[in-house]
Amino acid sequence: MNVLAVGCHPDDLEIGCGGTLAKLAAKGHRVTMVHVANGDKGHKQIVPDELKAIRRLEAKAAGNLIGAEVISLDVPDLAVKSDQDELVGKLVQVIRKVRPDYIITHPPEDYMKDHMEVSRAVFDASFAATVPHYQPTDGEEAHTKVAPIYYMDTLAGVGFLPTEYVDISDYIETKIQMNDCHQSQIKWLYEHDGIDFLDFVRTVSKFRGLQCGKPYAEGFKQCEAWPRLTTERLLP
């Protein structure tokens, strides 16, 4: 299987579906991790230009842990706009290159705008990528299927009722390590939001595990829009 995961900030995929991606990779599937925003404003002291370089490396390191390709679309924080052709165009290129069997991204409602915009842009791009005459750029042909989309959990699971669960019990430590790569954020999240990042991630995974009877799990919801509905389980 060929799985494309698109998160907003460089650490969002690790938080929301790191275990699932680790599991996919371990089972031999191809995993591509995209972060749309470069995370340049996720710190109090470090200035944006410096920070975005640091975070790109952190994201690469996290991806490397599971052998995933990591792509940055390099949009500045708080400037993610699904209504602009530029972002959708970038995502279309990624989709046409990766040619995913399915996509994982943020749900349409989450705790801050950039996350929600990524969700919308991915939804739009996954359709546009299949239209031959939309940005018929050099080399990459239109994707042959409108890829099904799975929405990962919101931050702290607020307002989110999963309909599918992935057992990540064998991958929880890998997930924690992936999150641990984001050292700049461990400090920021503590200062900005008062949370202990790694403990936060572990607790949510444990809670989702309680819900489905596993030590650790991640929850998802399928995007219910035609022609993305399926008759087989795609998640691992």
Residues engaged in binding a second copy (CB under 8 A): 40-41, 43-44, 47-48, 77-79, 81, 83, 85, 109-113, 120, 123-124, 127-128, 130-134, 154-159, 161, 163, 165-167, 192-195, 200, 203-204, 206-207, 210-214, 217, 222, 224-233
Concatenate the DSSP letters of all residues of 62-101 into one string. HHHHHT-EEEEEEEPTT---TTSHHHHHHHHHHHHHH--S
Assess contact for 36 and 80: CB atoms under 8 A: yes
Considering the complex, state which of residue 28 and residue 194 has its C-beta at the smaller distance from a second copy: 194
Considering the complex, state which of residue 70 and residue 149 has its C-beta at the smaller distance from a second copy: 149
Considering the complex, state which of residue 61 and residue 142 has its C-beta at the smaller distance from a second copy: 142
Helix count (H) and strand count (E) of the chain?
A: 7, 7
- In order of 90, 139, 146, 231, the CA distances from 133 in angstroms are 16, 13, 15, 29
In whole angstroms, how close is the CB of 68 to a second copy at the nearest point? 22
In whole angstroms, how close is the CB of 153 to a second copy at the nearest point? 11
- Which residue has 């924080």 as its token pair? 77
Helix (H, G, I), strand (E, B) or coil at 195: coil
In whole angstroms, how close is the CB of 48 to a second copy at the nearest point? 5
In whole angstroms, how close is the CB of 163 to a second copy at the nearest point? 5
Helix, strand, coil percentages for the chain (3-state, nearest 5): 45, 15, 40
Considering the complex, state which of residue 140 and residue 200 has its C-beta at the smaller distance from a second copy: 200
**166: Cα separation from own chain's centroid:** 15
In whole angstroms, how close is the CB of 59 to a second copy at the nearest point? 19
Considering the complex, state which of residue 67 and residue 136 has its C-beta at the smaller distance from a second copy: 136
